Amino acid sequence: MNDDNNKNPEKFGTKKRLLAAVSAAALLLGGLGVFGLMDLQSAAAAPPQAHIAPPPARPAAPPPQEHRATPPRMLENGAPFSFADLVERVSPAVVTVTVEEEMQPSAEFDTEDLPEPFRNFFNQFGNGGQMRPHKAIAMGSGFIIDKSGYIVTNNHVVAGGKKITVKLQDGRQFDAHLVGTDKDTDIALLKVKAKGPLPAVEFGDDRQVRVGDWVIAVGNPFGLSNTVTAGIISSIGRNIGNGPYTDFLQIDAPINRGNSGGPTFDLRGRVIGMNSMIYSPSGGSVGIGFAIPSSTVHDVVNQLQAHGHVSRGYLGVNIQSVTPEIAASIGSKESKGAIVASVVPGGPAARAGFMQGDIVLAINGKSIEDSRDLTRRVAGIPAGANATFTISRNGAAKTLTAKIGQRDDQKIALNNGQPHAPAAATTGEAMGLGLAAVTPDVRREYGLNNAVNGVLITKVDPDSDAADKGLQTGDVVLAIANKPVHTPEQVKALIAAAHAQGRSTVLMLVTGNGGQRFVALKIGQG
């Protein structure tokens, strides 16, 4: 067409005038809403794009093909052309996890107040008003990491489950055996038996990803299996107050309830994270999701596969990060390391000669960033192994060697004067919520499993912000402003503290049938 126009300038000028007239008419129709409709019709009728040949195959390598996948085809400007090849390759290894739970009765009701037909029905089939245990079904996601049938998911997906079933993309279903769980990192390992090898994916290195890198999330949101979303890494090393052992990857690929336990892939189809929770003022995805880094998942899964549980090292110190104010008070120019607030009598640190006020600067020759870094590094050392610590005491450097012990979280909590569970039931109200401590009686009444510790929501004011944000009776508040809570009084005290600081909302971590999530509630409703 360009050649013809160049040969006949007059003809080309006529075409330009005709095109200008057509464009003006189109704009006029667009004001009436017709242009948009035509646009959609044209797009729907457009023929499929021509096939673009894939890049040349890489040299053969020993691992299976799915472990040596090439990245998606790229345009000349380096932007991803399509995620379709990647999705097609990894999706068969992503599974839907269905968990069957037995819920204990939460209440009794008086059948005498019912109309006669209903009263007769409940007396005959409802055990005379006595509520019977009933089954509940929860769903999540997971992914196969070994062709022999090992599957990774979240602990909160399978916690308390009586029967676990996994379903593959091709429709096959298997009963799953729970190999082991680690509630501190929210990781669980399952095993299924299949007649042949299963599709599997491999772990990537989350320490190599950067903010802005593309990621793909595959999972089962709201029961919609094999749903794929795309986004980028929004932040790295995110501390969301969910324990000292995990610094999360923050992603903006939309994930929702049911995505828990599903994988986050890089562009080579390697798992760099496991989707675990979302920040949600509304109850749905707002583009802020959190994935457990693959390095954490890999290390925990190795222990679960070998031993069925996770063992962590223990030093026996209470520590806090060195703030700029603390650094200035001791004459240090850098606010790095962890300061020892107290030493547990008779513990590994006490035997090694640690003292209150020591600043831990390095462990086994590698520098320490803060208290979380030290806790995580010590936890990764096997019990019985020796570790060398570089400390600063009164401004002088010193080296101490400690024999790492075995961590016992319940014993540590008692030593710190923090009972593992509240001793007596207490109730209260805050921000339109009825609250109760999670005691053994409350566990039985509401059918809560032993892995849940926090404050139970017993009622929700329908006119409250909490109701608008999707909180329900039976949900459990785990933390307020990133601080764990066990009693309604702790909830109210933390809300009051946030209000005193001039905050209009408070961040609440809750867990329920949809898994763990953050909810920001407005302060000032009770």
Q: How far is Cα 453 from Cα 467, in angstroms, rounded to an integer?
A: 22
Q: What angle do CA 323, 327, 328 make, to 5 degrees?
A: 115
**Residue 235 φ then ψ, to 5°:** -160, 160
Task: List strand residue ranges (DSSP E) for 227-284, in order.
Answer: 227-238, 248-251, 263-265, 271-279
Read off the tokens for 489: 């009084």
Read off the tokens for 194: 């299949």
* CB neighbourhood size of 341 (10 A): 12
Q: Of 138, 142, 44, 49, which is closest to residue 91 (Cα–Cα)?
A: 142
Annotate 33-75 with DSSP letters as a single string: THHHHHHHHHHHHSPPPPP-PPPPPPPP-SS-GGGGPPPPPB-
How far is Cα of residue 291 from the mean position of the Cα atoms in its chain?
Answer: 5
Q: Pick the catalytic residue from 182, 186, 358, 465.
A: 186
How far is Cα of residue 127 from the mean position of the Cα atoms in its chain?
Answer: 41
Q: What sign for the dihedral angle of Cα 218, 219, 223, 226?
A: positive
Q: Pick the catalytic residue from 91, 141, 225, 260.
A: 260
Q: How far is Cα 124 from Cα 511, in angstroms, rounded to an integer?
A: 36
Beta carbons within 8 Å of 373's beta carbon, 6+ residues apart:
338
Q: Pick the catalytic residue from 91, 141, 156, 294.
A: 156
* CB neighbourhood size of 387 (10 A): 18
Q: How far is Cα 182 from Cα 167, in angstroms, rounded to an integer?
A: 23
Active site residue 260: yes
Beta carbons within 8 Å of 269's beta carbon, 6+ residues apart:
66, 69, 86, 89, 90, 201
Q: What is the DSSP letter of 415?
A: H
Active site residue 4: no
Active site residue 156: yes
Catalytic residues: 156, 186, 260
